[in-house]
Amino acid sequence: MAEPTSVVLTGAGRGIGAALARVYAGPGVAMLLIGRDVARLETVAAECVAKGATVETAGVDVTDTERLAAAILAFETKNPVDLVIANAGVSGGLEQGRGFETFATAQRQLRINLEGAVATVTPLVDPMRARKKGRIAIMSSLAALQPVGDTAAYSASKAGVFAWGEALGDFLAPDGISVSVICPGFVTSDMSARYLGPKPFEMTADEAAKLIRRKIDAGKPVIAFPWQIVAAIRVGRMLPRAVRRLFLSRVPVEIAPDPNG
């Protein structure tokens, strides 16, 4: 596939998003970096400009769908987008004393992770279809393939992203537009740091970004890693539910409060 020359990326201020911005930055590349933390965005933007990219930033929360669409379409008008990566996401977890997560916590994850991904991609579907080209990447999680009881809303939100991404890929295939659903395991980031349990095969954000780019460039519909955990999940899905539940119950899942609200 041709190198992307116009890239839209949400959640670009930190973690995998910032690493992906750096991976795609280069001479001749126009970028729109979107996130809630303007200071972090500007830092990442400066790094991308130093690599030769032309960069715009938008301090927009993906739940503010009208402002999000307006920023994306304004950029699209000047720089027809050939790659959009819906990466913005948050995690949640149990309340103190292992109380079940509140509705507000669950709703926040569903709105940002699932609705935010849909809101990011949808404005660009018709322009890409008109051009008969484009690439779409949507950030899901291995939790979509193996839900975890202590992170029910997060698992549900990422499973929704996975299903929507696969369906979107089927819909857009006749138009020559590829859709990749990304399912990372543990990647070093602020979000990962809040997870206080074991993190097998954890990767750095830069390592993950390089892997993701290679797979997007290859047009892979599902990008799930690391392979060791993916293989374990596939084997586990063949076990009786009671056996799988017993195994998962032995894995501690404690998540520290999110300082970003």
pLDDT tens, residue by residue, 215-231: 999 999 999 999 999 99
Average pLDDT (10-26) is: 97
Average pLDDT (17-37) is: 98
Helix residue ranges, H only, 173-223: 190-194, 205-217
pTM over 0.95: no
Average pLDDT (18-29) is: 98
pLDDT in tens, 203-212: 999 999 999 9
- Asked whether 215 and 180 are in contact (CB, 8 A), the reply is yes
Query: pLDDT value at position 245?
Result: 75
- Report the C-alpha gap between 108 and 138 in whole angstroms: 18
- Asked whether 221 and 203 are in contact (CB, 8 A), the reply is no
Residue 234 has pLDDT above 80, yes or no: yes
**CATH dotted code for 6-249:** 3.40.50.720
